[in-house]
Amino acid sequence: MKAHSSRVGVFVRIRPTAHFSQDLIECLPDGQTVNIHHRKDSRKPQDLRKSQLNSWSFRVAGILQDVSQEELYTRVCRRVVLGALEGYNGTLMCFGQTGAGKTYTMTGSTESYKQRGIIPRAIQEAIASCEKVFQEVDKRTEHAVSVHLSYLEIYNETLVDLLSSLQGSPQLSSRSMVVVEEPGRGVFIRGLSLHPVHSVEEALNLLFEGEMNRIIGSHPLNRNSSRSHCIFTLHIESRSRTLSVAKYVTSKLNLVDLAGSERLGKTGSEGQMFKEAMYINKSLSFLEQAILALADRRRDHVPFRQSKLTHALKDSLGGNCNTVLVANIYGEAAQIEETLSTLRFASRMMCIRTNPAVNEHIDPAAQIKKLQKDVHMLKEELSFYNTLVNHPRIKYESLSEAQLAEIHNQVQRYLKGSLEEISIISILQVQAVFAQFKVAVQEQEQKVKAELSQTFNLMEKDQSANTTDRKKWNTRDTTGDVEALRPSSTKAYTKMPRDKQSSTPSKAEAFEDFKVGRGSKINRILKENKAVLLERRSFLRQLTEEYLVTEGEPDDTSLMQLRELKALYRQRYEVQCDVKAEVNYCQRLVDQCRERLLSEFENWYKKSFPVPEEELDITIDRTLEQGEDDKGLLPDSSSSESFYNAQYRMKKRRALSFTPAQTNSSASVGCYVGMAVSRLRRPCLSLRLLLYKAISSRAEVAGSGVGAASYVVGSSRRSTPRGSRHHVSSGAGSERMCQPLTAGLAGSAEAPNLTEPHKPEYPYSTTPQEILAC
């Protein structure tokens, strides 16, 4: 609905008179300008000479003097009436002094066809064009037009339905009528009867009926003076006959005959006439205020609701409407002040801008019909297309229960793998498939949640039991109660039937636990020994490089230099041999520590998780066979690698001639010595050489090349009381504490009690004196 701004069209109509005051009312030849010359207080002849002559000029759309009713209609009204037929609201309004010719202009003479006024002519114009439509119904013209009439009177600020006397009209009291506003519909009178008309005659009958009901009073200026404001309205609605067009257009054409203003002091009205004049003047005053507010663009509030008239004319004055005002004036000098007043009002009206627009609406019922038709058409199109592409089975209606069940079945089979793919048929089917997937996912989630909650409940119980047991275990560890070291939770495992030992940890997992728990100390020693081994290897590498440099000295040197070089070469060679021996020794210690760790773990594991021996052997053998290729089974590959490496070496060593007792005890002391050796520093090469020789001799005694001995090295070595620390001093004389080593072995049943004064209890132990003797 496009609106365009337009000014209120204002015309001035001068009532014909034989005493036209040409001196006071000057109509210029342009037909649009009227000049008023007025001398104040001109009623007093003695002041005529003294008073000053004032002039006012009013330029309007047209000055209508001595024009026929037909010309007036053509010049003033036709445009608005035709606009109404196109969907624009229109208002034609007559304003002026009592007896100035408003009713004559608006209604005209009911006795003379030629002198009929605007309303009959507008009816004729509008309904005649509609009649054409009416008559062409059978010819199926494009639009169907309907016209309804209403006739409202505002008398003493009361709304009156002038057509309520007609048969079939609702007999409502004036109080039940009210001016209301609704979005999309604008201002209208609720309770005002609307009368459909199909011909000019019908419409004129209604007009005359209403005219009969108007309140007319005999006034000094007008024998048949209208004592009320009257609004005759044509309600026009145009709809398309085509079902596909849901739009329809409405418009209202208001033909307003305002009551005449009067100067009460001048007319001398009394009684009822006076009361009516008071109401009339008051309502016209409110109209003027509204117009002033509308004309002033700085005002954001227009007092439309001050009177029924302004409220009812709200749309006509400042809204969606083509508005035309006819200002009726007298031509006589006696009414010059009222004429001036009327022209002032008219000039203010000219300042008002309205925004007429076609009133388009969407009919919901027609819209639904249109959409249904569109859907039907599109389905037909799709059906045709599907036939062309060999998909004639596709239906576009909602899926039936059976179809949904089939889709559910397909999705279930697809998820289980028994159906390779779900063939896509239509969008509806795709949506149903996705819906079924959603349902499947939700069901799966519920299932997993239920399982998890069940598992977590069990785990929480187990964890609380484990925590309690671990506390007990830690406490007992410090008291040295070896038998009690086994966690009670593992006892619980052993009590379970074999087929229910699903929570028994794998060996790899158990080994990881063992390293940080029961076997943490021996594991730590192993790590330290490894670190010493690495450090020695690195040192050996460095020496080898230096030695190679010495070997590559140039030949053209003096004898002295050669001797020095030879000495240096020998010295380096000796050192290198020493370090090599150290490396070999450290390697053995590391192996023994590892063997010890595994041995202890095996014992602990067997006790904690009893498994038939043959099954254990099979497991171990398989593990050995698989070697490092079996890492995938283990939770932590780096840790499991060391585990299986160690296990492999242990199994290899089992084939050797050592008894478990020998292995354990020698390994324990080996670890101890490893710690001692790890404290050695490069400068004490001779001491390390001694150590190496002693080791070599013991190894020879053992005859295996693997047997270890207990060596405590250092000049300051001494026995310490139980629980105190062993101080092992390196060859450089520095003392270092090795309490962790002692503590780590003290808690083991198989390990010798090294907190006791040193009493070697295994066949290959060697005292420091022996070492020094070597």
Known binding-site residue numbers for ATP: 96-103
What distance in Å separates the CA atoms of residue 183 and residue 188, rounded to the nearest whole number? Answer: 11
Task: Assess contact for 662 and 592: CB atoms under 8 A.
Answer: no
**Residues 202 and 191 sit within 8 Å (Cβ to Cβ):** no
CB of 290 to ligand ATP, least distance (A): 20
Q: Are 150 and 194 in contact (CB under 8 A)?
A: yes
Instruction: Give the Cβ contact number of residue 421 at 10 Å.
Output: 7
- Give the shortest CB-198-to-ligand ATP separation in angstroms: 30
Q: What are the residues facing 154 on neighbouring strands?
A: 159, 229
Binding marks (x or -) toward ligand ATP, 305..344, rule CB under 6 A? Answer: -----------------------x----------------
- Sign of the Cα torsion 142, 148, 154, 157 reads negative
Binding residues: 96-103
Region 228-267 residues binding ligand ATP, contact defined as CB under 6 A: 259-260
8 Å CB contact between 641 and 677: no
Among 121, 195, 214, 219, binds ligand ATP (CB under 6 A): 219
Size of the site for ligand ATP (CB under 6 A): 18
- In terms of CB distance, is 328 or 647 closer to ligand ATP? 328
What's the min distance (Å) between Cβ of 224 and ligand ATP? 6
Least distance in angstroms from the C-beta of 109 to ligand ATP? 6
Tell how far CA 569 is from the center of its chain: 81
User: What is 112-127 written as a DSSP string?
Assistant: -STTB-HHHHHHHHHH
Stretch that binds ligand ATP, among 224-232, 472-480, 482-490, 626-634 (CB under 6 A): 224-232
Contact 342, 328 (CB under 8 A): yes
Near ligand ATP by CB under 6 A: residue from 150, 164, 226, 766? 226
| Closer Cβ to ligand ATP, 42 or 65, answer by number | 65
Q: Which ranges of 360-426 does DSSP label H, i.e. alpha helix? A: 364-388, 401-416
Whole-number Å distance between alpha carbons of 653 and 595: 8
CB of 114 to ligand ATP, least distance (A): 11
> Looking at 32-40, 96-104, 464-472, 581-589, which segment touches ligand ATP (CB under 6 A)?
96-104
Q: How far is the CB of 164 from ligand ATP (least distance, A)?
A: 22
Q: Which residue, 103 or 529, is less far from ligand ATP as judged by CB?
A: 103
Does 214 interact with ligand ATP (rule: CB under 6 A)?
no
Helix (H) or strand (E) holding 690: helix 685-702
Tally DSSP H helices, then E strands, for the chain: 23, 21
Q: Is 542 helix (H, G, I), strand (E, B) or coil?
A: helix
Q: Does 100 bind ligand ATP (CB under 6 A)?
A: yes
Q: What's the chain's length in residues?
A: 774
**Residue 104 sits in the site that holds ligand ATP (CB under 6 A):** yes
Asked if residue 476 lies in contact with residue 747, where contact means CB atoms within 8 angstroms, the answer is no
Contact 331, 21 (CB under 8 A): yes
Q: Decide if residue 103 touches ligand ATP (CB under 6 A).
A: yes
**399-414 burial: b if 16+ Cβ within 10 Å, else e:** beeeeeeebbebbeeb
Q: Which is nearer to ligand ATP, 260 or 731 (CB)?
A: 260
Among 11, 76, 84, 102, interactor with ligand ATP by CB under 6 A: 102
Q: Taking the complex as a whole, how short is the minimal distance between the CB of residue 100 and ligand ATP, in angstroms?
A: 4
Cα 656–Cα 659–Cα 661 angle in degrees, nearest 5: 140
User: Per CB under 6 A, which of residues 492..531 are in contact with ligand ATP?
Assistant: none
DSSP for 446-484, please give it: HHHHHHHHHHHHHHHHHHHHHHHHHHHHHHHHHHT-GGG
Task: Pick between residue 84 and residue 118 the one whose CB is nearest to ligand ATP.
Answer: 118
Q: Is 479 exposed, middle or buried (0-12, 13-18, 19+ CB in 10 A)?
A: exposed
Q: Establish if 269 lies at the interface with ligand ATP (CB under 6 A).
A: no
Give the binding range for ligand ATP (CB under 6 A) out of 218-226, 237-245, 373-381, 397-405.
218-226
Among 87, 90, 99, 487, binds ligand ATP (CB under 6 A): 99
What residues between 111 and 140 interact with ligand ATP by CB under 6 A?
A: none
Indicate the residue among 342 and 529 with the shorter CB distance to ligand ATP.
342
Nearer to ligand ATP, 106 or 130 (CB): 106
Contact 123, 234 (CB under 8 A): yes
Q: What is the per-residue binding string for ligand ATP in 14-53, x denoting contact by CB under 6 A?
A: -xx-------------------------------------
- Residue number with CB closer to ligand ATP (250 or 339): 339
Q: CB of residue 257 vs ligand ATP: minimum separation in angstroms?
A: 7
Least distance from C-beta 362 to ligand ATP, angstroms? Answer: 42
Q: Which residues bind ligand ATP (CB under 6 A)?
A: 15-16, 96, 98-104, 219, 222, 224-226, 259-260, 328
